């Protein structure tokens, strides 16, 4: 199993390509997609789609995991995040991939053993899992890696593949 873990966003999207080898988790690619806000929504969604389509093909991804959206104070922001989530579902359909969504609390619990951990605590644990990572990484990137760690730590799928 090779997963693409995504922290979707409308301006920044973190991603990580990960696989499990025995008991260890391997991180083969990670980064940050910066989406220019000066372009229209069609362009922004297209940039998001193009990058993740390329990552799926480049790495022979079998599964996608990401954090379940929660209602922000701003309903418009929540709706726009839905566009990006829709693209993830479209890619999963197009490439016949499994999708796994995890709540923020579940990810924090799986990575930090505390469901109310801060973003800084998640990042700290990510650096412990992968000490060779360049520091500091933007929260979007460490959040995506944390989502991948969560998937491999709790998913029944990772134990069967």
Q: For residue 79, count CB atoms less than 10 angstroms from its CB and return exposed for 0-12, middle for 13-18, buried for 19 or more.
A: exposed
Using alpha carbons, list the distances in angstroms from residue 95 to 62, 63, 90.
Answer: 8, 10, 9
Q: Under a CB-based contact definition with an 8 Å cutoff, are residues 65 and 151 in contact?
A: yes
Could you give the CA distance from residue 36 to residue 44 in angstroms, rounded to a whole number? 7
In the structure encoding, which two tokens stand for residue 34, read together?
Answer: 């910066």
Could you give the CA distance from residue 18 to residue 20 in angstroms, rounded to a whole number? 7
Q: How many helices (H) and strands (E) does the chain have?
A: 6, 5
- Catalytic residues, which ones? 7, 67, 140
């Amino acid at each position: 199993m090779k997963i693409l873990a995504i922290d979707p966003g409308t301006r920044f999207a973190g991603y990580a390509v990960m696989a499990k080898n025995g008991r260890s988790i391997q991180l083969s690619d990670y980064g940050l997609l910066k989406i220019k806000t000066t372009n229209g929504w069609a362009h922004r969604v297209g940039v998001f789609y193009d990058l993740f389509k390329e990552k799926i093909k480049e790495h022979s991804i079998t599964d996608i995991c990401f954090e379940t959206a929660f209602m922000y104070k701003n309903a418009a922001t929540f709706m726009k995040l839905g566009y990006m989530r829709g693209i993830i579902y479209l890619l999963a359909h197009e490439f016949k991939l499994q999708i796994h969504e995890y709540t923020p609390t579940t990810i924090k619990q799986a990575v930090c053993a505390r469901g109310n951990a801060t973003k800084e605590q998640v990042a700290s644990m990510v650096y412990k899992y992968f000490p060779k990572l360049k520091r500091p990484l933007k929260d979007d990137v460490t959040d995506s890696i944390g989502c991948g760690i969560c998937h491999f730590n709790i998913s029944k799928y990772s134990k069967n593949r």
